[in-house]
Structure 1
Amino acid sequence: MMTWFENAFDGLPDPRTGNAKRHDLLEVLTIALTASVCGAESCSDFADFAVDREDLFREFLRLENGVPSHDTFSRIFRLLDPAAFSACFGRFLDGLGAAGEGVVAIDGKTLRRSFDDAARGNPLAVVTAFASASRLVLGQQSFRVAEGDSEILAARALLECLDLSGQLVTADALHCQKETAQVIRDRGGDYLLRLKANHPALHAMVDEYFADPDLRAGLAAAATTDADHGRIEIRRAWVSHDLDWLRGPKSASSEPVLLPDMTCLGLIETTVEHRGKTTTTRHCHLSSRALSPAAYLQAARAHWAVENSLHWVLDVTFDEDRARNRKDHGPENLATLRKLALNVLRRARPEISIRRKRKRSGWSNDFARSILGQMR
């Protein structure tokens, strides 16, 4: 396993000096990642797990100075360069297997307990790129809420680090920006972006366009129906590849801001019947890919896997929302570690839930080896 880990984290700078370097950096990170896979959630947990499972670690680590203490784990994650640590995602994924083509969902999440009242520090927020088909995290970029940073700029910085060839990048209306769309195109991908009132002229024109029932009747369409727990949800989608009317002569007051290489407009109308009440919502999207209605529906729905298969799992299974690490780079680096552990768990024993895999890895060395054995 160390060969795989050394390749993944080759060149990661060690922030420690002097006697603080008595434990090998890669060995400390390996223990922390293994402990996180097996259910540990804090630096104290990592240290306790290292003591209790020292026999497991000595199978593939030297541990020349014994197992690291809580202070060692805490010091490393506080001081480690978060940009360098996060940049290891690509090589880490190479060790697990390619994420494959499909939908890459971009979404942000605030780490609610990462604020520091004493230092008047704002909570940390993280933008994540999530491969919906393989359910793997491709990378993350952090920023501090209300410190002049923004999710928009963090998302662009993250996208610039990714090879998006063959990928369809989805994001909510916050990221429906010319500059963001151009980054996606420059990195070889296509975009599917939600359109809302932050582009008032374009939103009004597209909304009026799809509001005409006669026009919708002539467009390509698709529909899906889901029924579960007494709830019936019908989704209808229409797409239009005729954008000439948007590019014609317009008055200066109504000139819409068009995204680069935009080739497709879409509307999804969702009708939900639940407990005798019916609600209908409509959402418009812009895309650089000439999507069919069925592909459009599938991609728009795949975007929300980032909520159900990532954010929900991190909060419920990894207890991320209650993580109390606040000092220096600790919150960001531990957020990266959790996503690395989640990727490992996703790729091994797919027939078992993440929660069960973490519990059984913590209980049994043999089961832990079956999860960690893929990292050769």
Structure 2
Amino acid sequence: MDIDAFSQHFKDIQDPRQTAKITYSLFDVLFLSICSVISGASGWEDIEDFGEVHCLWLQEKGLFPQGVPTHDTIARIISRLNTTQFRQCFIGWAKSVSKRTSGEVIAIDGKTLRSSYNRDNRQSAIHMVSAFATQNGVVMGQMKTEEKSNEITAIPALLRLLDIKGCLVSIDAMGCQKNIAKQIVTQKGDYLLAVKGNQDALHRAVKQALAESISLPVDPKQIQITQGHGRYEAREYKVLPATALIGEFKEWTGLKTIGVAMGYRFEKKAQQYSLEYRYYISSAELDTSRFAEAVRGHWGIENSLHWVLDVSMNEDKCPIYNGESAEILATMRHFALNMLRAETSKKASIRRKQKIASMDIKYLDKVLAAGLKAVAEE
């Protein structure tokens, strides 16, 4: 693995330490930390332990000639990094290794890092908004919501950093805002926004416009049935041109399509039935098939990103909160997840790939090489 390719995306990160007091190179510490997270590390001591075990491997790459720093030193260095610079490095790398395709669905959703609550000053746990390319499972970027703020302010800031041209950006009801819709269209993308009570007039109009379609007999060819975890689910999707709404809702830039996703669920153990309707607006001209695919893709962010971060990478159990360390480590987990998914020679879960990487340094090299392939080919 060419370490120079890796360094391309970290060269712009400024070292916060005084030059005269630097013992360990910032790049060395960053490389160690990301390799450790790829291999399953969830805290500072894990990173130190990984470095000690694989010190010779690191030194063969020209890193840590004086040995690996302690976990306290690693924590001090990482927690003082500039989060904006680190975020830009991640997004630049993600762009280089994963090219967007026309019509690709980019799901934007938020997640709270529950153990990042700062016990010292009672600062709330941080909340990260991520952009996720649903087709290939790549995290494109992330943004922390500011304290006493929410996703409505973080989403526009994140969008400005992304290349969404030709893509369909899906966001839940929190992001159903006129300015967000306009920004997506301005950036030459299309939006698919869930509509709920926070946009009451729009919600009622969409619901009324689709009422007749919903009342039509079920088309068996359009029903999608799944089962698992003791429940049965059936989903049906309806779409219509937004012609009847455009005159009344001119402020929704580019509005072309409205749709509803109907979900029927039966809980076998509880013997309970439920029926749910989810309404959407879009600036794209969507048929039923494309609409259904995009809605399912957005729901997939929970299983393909949030669930993996929590269950496979123990994100919600990571009790790190000092300085900017929680946000930096969250971004490192996104680095690691993208790299692990890019390595396809081993057909295994993310958790299993992490274990293999921790035990087999040759496999870790393969993960790093797969994650940096596009950079090396530039």
Same structural fold, with TM-score higher than 0.5 when normalized by the shorter chain: yes
Which residue pairs with 2:349 in the alignment? 353
Aligned 8 A contact 1:190 1:288 in 2? yes
**SS across alignment from 2:198:** coil
Bigger fraction of residues in helix: 2
Could you state the TM-score of these two structures normalised by the residue count of structure 2?
Answer: 0.91
C-alpha distance in 1 between matches for 2:113 and 2:242:
42
C-alpha distance in 1 between matches for 2:100 and 2:47:
28
Cα distance change, pair 257–176 in 1 and its aligned pair in 2 (3 A): farther
Which residue pairs with 1:224 in the alignment? 224
Aligned counterparts, 1:94-243, within 5 A: 94-98=95-99, 100-101=101-102, 102-144=104-146, 147-213=147-213, 222-228=222-228, 231-243=231-243
Task: Spell out, residue by residue over 1:300-333, the C-alpha distance to the aligned partner (whole angstroms, 9 max, x if none).
Answer: 0100121101111111111110111111111111
Shift of 1:211: 1.8
Which residue pairs with 2:49 in the alignment? 48
Shift of 1:26: 1.2
Shift of 1:230: 5.3
Segment of structure 1 superposing worse, 59-68 or 78-87: 59-68
**SS across alignment from 2:116:** coil
C-alpha distance in 2 between matches for 1:95 and 1:69:
33
C-alpha distance in 2 between matches for 1:70 and 1:229:
41
Aligned 8 A contact 2:107 2:171 in 1? yes
Residue type of the alignment partner of 2:13: L
Residue type of the alignment partner of 2:44: C
Which residue pairs with 1:366 in the alignment? 362
Aligned counterparts, 1:183-332, within 5 A: 183-213=183-213, 222-228=222-228, 231-243=231-243, 245-248=244-247, 256=249, 258-275=251-268, 276-332=271-327
Residue type of the alignment partner of 2:301: V
Cα distance change, pair 214–264 in 1 and its aligned pair in 2 (3 A): closer
Which residue pairs with 2:28 in the alignment? 27
Could you state the TM-score of these two structures normalised by the residue count of structure 1?
Answer: 0.91
Q: CA RMSD for the aligned pairs?
A: 2.2
Task: Spell out, residue by residue over 1:64-102, the C-alpha distance to the aligned partner (whole angstroms, 9 max, x if none).
Answer: 332222122111221100011011123322453435451
* Structure 2, unaligned runs of 5 or more: none
Aligned 8 A contact 2:129 2:155 in 1? yes
Task: Spell out, residue by residue over 1:121-175, the C-alpha distance to the aligned partner (whole angstroms, 9 max, x if none).
Answer: 121110000111111110000024xx33221111110001101012110010010
C-alpha distance in 2 between matches for 1:166 and 1:119:
44
Cα distance change, pair 214–197 in 1 and its aligned pair in 2 (3 A): closer
Aligned 8 A contact 1:107 1:171 in 2? yes
C-alpha distance in 1 between matches for 2:213 and 2:64:
70
**SS across alignment from 1:34:** helix
- Identical residues among aligned pairs (%): 33
C-alpha distance in 2 between matches for 1:227 and 1:313:
21
C-alpha distance in 2 between matches for 1:64 and 1:229:
52
Which residue pairs with 2:19 in the alignment? 18
C-alpha distance in 2 between matches for 1:242 and 1:151:
27
Q: How many residues align?
A: 366
Segment of structure 1 superposing worse, 311-320 or 365-374: 365-374
C-alpha distance in 2 between matches for 1:118 and 1:66:
32
Shift of 1:356: 0.6
Aligned 8 A contact 2:210 2:240 in 1? no
Cα distance change, pair 5–121 in 1 and its aligned pair in 2 (3 A): same
Shift of 1:213: 5.0
Task: Spell out, residue by residue over 1:164-203, the C-alpha distance to the aligned partner (whole angstroms, 9 max, x if none).
Answer: 0121100100100011111111222111000011111111
Matched, 1:78 2:76: no
Residue type of the alignment partner of 2:331: T
C-alpha distance in 2 between matches for 1:199 and 1:242:
16
Aligned 8 A contact 2:192 2:283 in 1? yes
Please list every run of at least 4 consecutive aligned residues from structure 1 whose deviation after the TM superposition is greater than 4 angstroms: 213-217, 255-258
C-alpha distance in 1 between matches for 2:93 and 2:210:
44
